[in-house]
Amino acid sequence: MTSSLTPTLPGHAYTDPATFAAEEERIFAREWIYVARGDELVPRGKVLRRQVGPESVILLRDRAGVLRCYLNVCRHRGAQLCSSDSETLGNAIRCPYHAWTYAHDGRLMAAPNFAAMPPSDRERSGLLPVHVTEWAGLVWVNLDAEPQPLERQLAPQLTYRFGGSPSRIERWGIGDLVVGARKTYTVAANWKLIQENFQECYHCGTIHPELVDAIPAFARTSELSAGYQPDGYRFADGLDAFSVTGQARYPRLPGLSAADERRYFGMVLRPNCFLSLLPDHVIVHRFQPVSPSVTVVECDWLFDPAVAAAPGFDPTDTVEIFHRVNQQDFAAVEGCQPNMNSRAYRRGGVLVPLETETINDNYYRWYREAMAG
């Protein structure tokens, strides 16, 4: 009888610094990477710093509202222009070393003894731009010189998740929502272990008691083995909201219909975003690899602006259920990470059939193709 088990990646894929460096170049320096919420960047607001694969970049929105992204490298002697993840955006970006000063559009506009610098030298000393775009209120950047459109990167993943109807995601109106709560987790595990975990629910019955109480299908392996359900996963009978109490507190999002009520949709948007779509809110995870064995995960809970602005808005009941899921998931993968170096895991582990389609057939196929390229 042939085996029902499919190999995972080998252990060293989760620990090896050379593999991590190759991922930075072949995945994070070539694909669109989710870096921030669009509403974090407002004109005269903040300049954000993000690590994108091997590069540090800065992000801002200029006075006309245009998103800008640059390598975080002064063209004079290479100082970091931003040395923290969020700084106040002034009228210009001033290097802290010798005060070369750049306009929001990247032009070098001032420097000590600027008058002595010929125009041609000024012109070739602007900040180096990075491609940046916004989709559904999420800001993505791409270090590649000529990237494909972001929509082309996302379309196959949305098509797969929504059973051939990628435009279905538009109903949640994610771009119109606002952040009602944010939690940041530093996870002692490789970024792929976290994403693999997010793409299988074989573990849900074991480690997520609140989640399977809310969505019983997650504990029924017979239903899970059918792959993603394109119409989402139903809440338990008697549950009106995805929250600790299950009590509906907020109206359903404006673009949704009765058919979307009491359902959960989860999906990975490779390489570093995970969406959870619910009737009255949306959860967005951003995965930031730090090293082979450390990943920072930023998790935003998004709400309708009218809901979030209402007096007494307190999303604790809603936030708490997925916060617990996060903690349970991260504890699980942190329990695996040390063993990625074990001789028992030299060739990796195995996937059972209900993990195989999402992890092997989709995720590993993408990963292997990206790393081979």
E strand residue ranges, the chain: 6-7, 33-37, 46-52, 55-61, 67-71, 86-88, 93-94, 101-102, 108-110, 131-135, 138-142, 178-187, 233-234, 263-269, 273-277, 282-291, 294-303, 350-351
Report the distance separating Cα 349 and Cα 336, nearest Å. Answer: 11
When CB distances are held under 5 to 8 angstroms depending on the partner's kind, the choice from ligand FES, Fe ion, none that residue 182 binds is: none
What the block records as the tokens of 192 is: 């792929």
- Judged by beta carbon, residue 77 or residue 365, the one nearer ligand FES is 77
Q: Which stretch binds Fe ion (CB under 5 A): 222-230, 273-281, 325-333, 362-370?
A: 325-333
Closest CB to ligand FES among 79 and 336?
79
Question: Can you tell me the distance from the alpha carbon of 321 to that of 28, in angstroms, rounded to the nearest whole number?
Answer: 31
For residues 225 and 213, what is the distance between their CA atoms, to the nearest angstrom?
Answer: 19
Q: Report the site for Fe ion in 207-246 (rule: CB under 5 A).
A: none
Give me the DSSP letters along 312-341: T--THHHHHHHHHHHHHHHHHHHHHGGGGG
CB of 326 to Fe ion, least distance (A): 9
Q: How many CA atoms lie within 13 A of 9 on its CB side?
A: 22
Which partner, Fe ion, ligand FES, none, binds residue 63 by CB below 5 to 8 Å per kind?
A: none
Q: Which CB sits closer to ligand FES, 90 or 164?
A: 90
> Using CA atoms, how far apart are residues 190 and 193, in angstroms rounded to an integer?
5
Count of positions on this chain that bind Fe ion (CB under 5 A): 1
Tokens of 214: 């809310």
Tell me the window of 112-120, 234-242, 322-330, 343-351 that interacts with Fe ion (CB under 5 A): 322-330
Q: Which residues contact ligand FES by CB under 6 A? A: 74, 76-79, 95, 97-100
Query: Closer CB to ligand FES, residue 84 or residue 342?
Result: 84
Tokens of 114: 């600027």
Distance between CA 118 and CA 32 in Å, rounded? Answer: 37
If one asks whether residue 23 binds Fe ion (CB under 5 A), the answer comes out as no
Residue at 261: amino acid letter: E
Question: Residue 306: which of Fe ion, ligand FES, none does it interact with, CB under 5 to 8 A by kind?
Answer: none
**Residue located via tokens 């009255």:** 280
* Residue (46 or 76) nearer to ligand FES, CB: 76
Picked from Fe ion, ligand FES, none, the partner binding residue 347 (CB below 5 to 8 A depending on kind) is: none
State the nearest-atom distance from the C-beta of 204 to Fe ion, in Å.
6
Shortest Å distance, C-beta 265 to Fe ion: 15
Nearer to Fe ion, 31 or 355 (CB): 355
Residue whose CB is less far from ligand FES, 43 or 112 = 112
Nearer to ligand FES, 60 or 95 (CB): 95
Site for Fe ion contains 31 (CB under 5 A) = no
Tell me whether residue 221 is exposed, middle or buried, using C-beta atoms within 10 angstroms of its C-beta: 0 to 12, 13 to 18, 19 or more.
Answer: middle
Closest contact distance (angstroms) between CB of 334 and Fe ion is 13
Residue 52's binding partner, choosing from ligand FES, Fe ion, none, with beta-carbon cut-off 5 to 8 A by kind? none
**Which of the listed partners (Fe ion, ligand FES, none) does 346 bind, with a CB threshold of 5 to 8 Å by partner kind?**
none
Question: Shortest approach of ligand FES to residue 110 CB, angstroms?
Answer: 11
Q: Site residues for Fe ion, window 147-186 (CB under 5 A)? A: none
Nearer to Fe ion among residue 95 and residue 267 (C-beta): 267
Whether omega before 271 lies within 30 degrees of 0, making that bond cis, reads yes
CA dihedral 181, 301, 206, 4 (to 10 degrees): -150
57 close to 144: Cβ distance less than 8 angstroms: no
Closest approach, Cβ 63 to ligand FES, in A, equals: 23
CA 340 to chain CA centroid, nearest Å: 24
Sign of CA dihedral 347, 348, 352, 355: negative
Per rule CB under 5 A, is residue 329 in the interface with Fe ion?
yes
Q: Which of ligand FES, Fe ion, none is residue 329 near (CB under 5 to 8 Å by kind)?
A: Fe ion
Q: Residues interacting with Fe ion, by CB under 5 A?
A: 329
